[in-house]
Each structure stands twice: as structure tokens, then as C-alpha cells.
Structure 1
Amino acid sequence: MSSFSSDQSDRSRGGDHDQQKKMIKYKGVRCRKWGKWVSEIRVPGTQDRLWLGSYTTPQAAAVAHDIASYCLRGPSSLNNLNFPLTTLPASVRTNMSPRSIQKAASDAGMAVDAQFAINHQSPSPNHEYNTLHGIGPNWDTSGHDQQLIRQGDALNISVEDYL
């Protein structure tokens, strides 16, 4: 089981490359020199690697690796994951195609990155106004045309968007 302290998560977003080397190392995850975290996994019984995506946080890349590991290796992989899986997404099975595994892993990793972004965003200067007028935290009212745009919809992306 891996744990990750808040001071380590602050350093995971850019920062000094030497500090990143001292961080917890997750299976199937590496850091690009420009600070993005990427994940890939070897397909059992072959020399092939399955690309799982590029993420903002190492935890997101590790979750993507865990999902792909379970899909490729089944329940026997549960003891070798970066994070213990308490529940699997409903779409995850052990008999999935490589493309379906990529999508499931990417969706899980991007969900972790999105949650990280939501938890670490600073309150907007209009927070009090929005709260008083019943506008939720996920609504952007800065447009000149007064259209409301739900910010959460922008986070709904998948690896299929890039294929």
C-alpha cells in the first residue's frame, strides 16, 4: 500500500527534478522531464506495451496502471497494485480488448486528475456573490453573453478523443 503526503503532492506538479526522484515510485509510472506523469503496461505473454496516457499527477497515472493491470492479469494482480482496489468501475472486466482497457484506464486516471484539480483550485473572487445568488461552484458566469457554462463538462474527456 502506498501513501502520499501533501508536501509530496505539491512537488509532483513541476518543481525540482531531483525532488521528484526522491518521491514514492509507483509501478508503471514515470515522469517526463517537463513534469507530466505517464503510464504504460506490458501485455502478459508478449513484448507489447499498452500506452495508458499522460497525467498531471503520479497518483492518476498509478490508478490507470492499476486498472489496466487488473484487466490484463485478473484477480491475481490485486496484491501487486499501487493502491488497493476497494471497488472496480462497472465497465472493468478481465476479458476486454486492448483499446477498451486503454479507455477504462485513461478514464480512471483522468478522474483522479480532475478530482485533484477540483480539490486544489482556489476560490474565485466572485465566490460570495455566487453563493448569495444561488450559483454553484461549478458554474462560470464570466462570459459577456451571460451564458452559463458548466465547467465540469470540460473534464469529460477520454483517450478516444485523441485517437
Structure 2
Amino acid sequence: MSCSEERGANTGASTSQQKKYKGVRQRKWGKWVSEIRVPGSQERLWLGSFATPEAAAVARDVAYYCLRGSSTLDNLNFPLMLPSGVRPGLSPRSVQKAASDAGLAIDAQLIANKLPENEGLKDDKSGHVGAHGLETGCWELAGDNCGTWEGSELKEGDDQAFSICIEDYI
């Protein structure tokens, strides 16, 4: 066997079947981490350590967008999942916090979806669970609540809907 054949055989054997995301790597012990270089400097911005590669990818996307602007959407892993509050021009510390928060929220959501009591969640036909298993939510205008918005998520066999109202946060 030639040297190049050996290298090809070794890389094929060690390649994981998981999708690779930009700016994400896996530690030896299984955690997924993300960091990004600050434009115009040699400084790296640590975004965090996450349980899932998708969470690390979303954290990287948020930081990338905040540091480089909206002209870079083609370089994002999940361009449709940017949180509404992020914007270009934030300080590196603010970018770090926004990215970490977004990643941790995705981790929590994905882990909650994997719990045994959530096995009965409607997904393909209901539209409640989006791409990559991330909840997209179902938002409706609440009839008697003076223009507030409510979201609901139904489980099979559950007679009560979980409801969130914007007034809860004001």
C-alpha cells in the first residue's frame, strides 16, 4: 500500500458521519466549541463550549454576523436562525455574550426535544419543529388580549397548551 493510500484509508476511517459546520470543532471528550477571529486583529473571541454541534454553529453565526455585517449571510451555517436582537457593530464583549446566549438556547432546546417525555411532539405535519429539530413555534394573535401575541405548543395526549404572552415580560 502506498503512502497516499494509507493516508486516504486513515482519514476515511476517522471521519465522523456528522455534518461539519463552519467555525465548530469537537473536543476529545465530546464537547463542541466555537471561537472566531476578530476582524483586523490577531485576537480570537471565545464563544463557548456546547453539548451539540448545532449550538456551537449558531453561536459562531451570531458572532460572524455581528462582527462582519449582513453582506456575509452566505458564510453562515444557519442564515435563517439569526436572533432578531443581533446587529453588526457590537463590541467584542457584547458579541461574545449574544453568541453564547444563542448557542446555549439552542442546546437547551435540542436537549429538551430529545427527552423521553417529548417523544410525542408533533414535528413533520404540524410545523412546530423546524430544520435540524429546532422549534420554530406557532404564534397566533390572541383574541381577547388586546393585540398581545401568544404561542402554544401541543403534545399528543395533552389537553393543556403551553402559553406565553408578551405581557409576561413587560
Q: For this structure pair, what is the TM-score category when the shorter chain's length is used for normalisation? A: 0.5 to 0.7
Cross-structure match for 2:22: 27
Are positions 1:74 and 2:69 aligned together? yes
Structure 2 letter corresponding to 1:62: A
Name the counterpart of 1:37: 32
Following superposition, the deviation at residue 18 of structure 1 comes to 3.6
State the partner residue of 1:128: none
Residue 136 of structure 1 deviates from its aligned partner by 9.1
Q: Give 1:55's aligned amino acid.
A: F
* Aligned alpha-carbon RMSD (Å): 2.6
- CA distance, structure 2, for counterparts of residue 53 and residue 41 of structure 1: 10
Distance in 2 between residues matched to 1:30 and 1:122, nearest whole Å: 28
SS of the residue 1:96 aligns to: coil
Q: Distance in 2 between matches of 1:50 and 1:121?
A: 32
Contact between 1:78 and 1:85, CA under 8 Å: does it hold in 2? no
Render the CA deviation track for 1:69-107: whole Å, top value 9, x for unaligned: 000000111011111225x32331111111100110011
Distance 1:29 1:67 in 2: 13
Paired position in structure 2 for 1:47: 42
Instruction: Please report how far the alpha carbon of residue 25 of structure 1 lies from its aligned counterpart in structure 2 after TM superposition.
Output: 1.3
Q: In the aligned structure 1, how far is the partner of 2:92 from the partner of 2:51?
A: 23
Structure 1: which 5+ runs fail to align?
A: 1-16, 125-133, 138-163
| 1:122 to partner: Cα distance | 1.3
Cα deviation, 1:86-135, whole Å, max 9, x if unaligned, reads: 5x3233111111110011001110111000111001129xxxxxxxxx99
2:117 is matched with: 123
Q: How many residues in Structure 1 have an aligned counterpart in Structure 2?
A: 112
Local SS of the residue matching 2:36: strand
Q: Larger radius of gyration, structure 1 or 2?
A: 2
Letter in 1 for 2:107: D
- 5+ unaligned residues in a row in structure 2: which ranges? 1-12, 119-158, 163-170
Bigger relative CO (Cα 8 Å, ≥ 6 apart): 1
1:71-110 alignment, distance < 5 Å: 71-85=66-80, 88-110=82-104
